[in-house]
Amino acid sequence: MTTTRADIILAESSRDVPALTAARASADASLRALALGSLHRIDELTTEDLQHALADTDRDVRVRALELAIENADIELAPHLGDPDDLVVETAAWALGERMDDAPAIIDALKATATNHAVSICREAAVAALGAIGSIDGLPAILAGLEDRAPVRRRAVLALAPFDTPEVTDALERATQDRDRQVRQAAEDLL
């Protein structure tokens, strides 16, 4: 018998963990992701469930697993900054910012993504995460973001909020002259 969305919803409402665990193996990726969320909502999502989902072939399942893994310290998020799918990389950066772990290896991974990733949304998410974490070691990558595309520059200005150094003040003053109105406004607001 094929599992359906209704089956998963009913399994969640009846707290049928075996049915939800079985749904993780569905051929339909959206059902695998739904089962993860259901397991999370009934407080039955395990580290093993998350690790299994983070290795899934479907990006939406990996994204959902990253969203749910923020609260699970046993799951390493930084390796997913190297995922071949940009949405997964963006979500991994966001999750790292939410987790606010300032371990040097995490800061280094975010800095590499913020400065070297080919896709601007991934660089933007990494800059935002570095700002959320607020580690001084991430500051050079945030400052480098001020030279990137407009969305990254906007995020970089906002990411400077936790820092109070002369270098940051100078960068914000330069940003008040940026060609993008939103970058200028954010820099003025922070100054």
Please say whether the beta carbons of 54 and 45 come within 8 A.
no
Cα–Cα dist 130/109, whole Å: 10
pLDDT for 3: 87
Kindly report the number of other CB atoms within 10 A of residue 66's CB atom.
27
The per-residue pLDDT of the chain, averaged, comes to: 96
DSSP per position, 12-72: HHTT-HHHHHHHTT-S-HHHHHHHHHHHHHTT---HHHHHHHHT-SSHHHHHHHHHHHTT-
What are the angstrom distances between the C-alpha of 187 and each of 20, 109, 153, 172, 179? 48, 26, 10, 5, 12
| Residue 1 predicted with pLDDT over 70 | no
The proportion of the chain whose per-residue pLDDT surpasses 70, expressed as a percent, equals 99
Is 2's pLDDT higher than 90?
no
Across the range 181-187, mean pLDDT stands at: 97
Q: What is the pLDDT of residues 23-61, one digit of tens each?
A: 999 999 999 999 999 999 999 999 999 999 999 999 999
Q: What is the pLDDT of residues 79-132, one digit of tens each?
A: 999 999 999 999 999 999 999 999 999 999 999 999 999 999 999 999 999 999
Tokens (6 digits) for 169: 């003040």
d(CA 100, CA 104): 12
For residue 176, the SS3 value is coil
Average pLDDT of the residues in 165-186? 97
> Can you give the pLDDT at residue 88?
98
